[in-house]
Amino acid sequence: MSIHLQREIDKLKKNLLSLSALVEDQVASAVEALQERDLVKARRVLGRDAEVDQREVEIEEECLKDLALHQPVACDLRFLVSVLKMNKDLERIGDLAVNIARKAITVAGYSDLDIPFDLAGMWEKCHAMLRDSIDALVNRDAPLAERICARDSEVNRLKHQIRRQGEELLRTQPERVPAWLALLAVARNLERIADHAVNIAEDVIYLVEGRIVRHENGQQTPPRT
């Protein structure tokens, strides 16, 4: 690897970590806005979405430039391909944060509503998966990435539990249907964040081992949408 390419790869790592920190903060702020009925915080999340989009474009452009100028091979090529895919996952997590912030604005209209779902606990699990997926990238830690994939089932279990609770509340408290629907949407968005963390972990395994794992053992990873 040339010294110049190594510098470019180090720069990409730094920029990807910066984008990851931004989207983590976006989701955390959106969940806090929901819990605290904080319209200012929710609108701040909406306002920062353009920054997430801009950083995603910049990283993509850097990757494409490095591919064109340096024509990398082997692990360097896998790294750039992985960054392109992870970059899109992070941008989508930013979009999901915006979705949660919009639902927080809806729920804020029900000031006397006690949220009966453990959405904060669900976010903690998703956040840990996302944080660990980035750590796995930085350290090229395939075993950690494998463990992240295995943790997705717990988030799915929580989403199904919340959905069952929500369906009961929709039947028994129809006057609050918009709030319950908003909260159920938040749970879906959090579950999608966990899916994107799994996508990133799978890309780490590909980067380190050159192995595509998304279809192993009948596993069907949700598409990057």
> How does pLDDT run across 183-218, given as a tens digit for each residue?
999 999 999 999 999 999 999 999 898 888 876 754
Dihedral (C-alpha) 18, 20, 23, 25: value to the nearest 10 degrees? -70
Confidence of residue 1 (pLDDT cuts 50, 70, 90): low
Contact 207, 137 (CB under 8 A): yes
pTM of this structure: 0.91
CATH architecture label of 3-218: Up-down Bundle (1.20)
- The mean predicted confidence, pLDDT, of the chain is 91
Question: Would you state the pLDDT for residue 50?
Answer: 97
With bands split at pLDDT 50, 70 and 90, how would you rate the model's confidence at 223? low
In the chain, what are the domain boundaries? 3-218
Give the pLDDT band (50/70/90) at residue 2: confident
pLDDT tens track for 55-101: 999 999 999 999 998 888 888 898 999 999 999 999 999 999 999 99
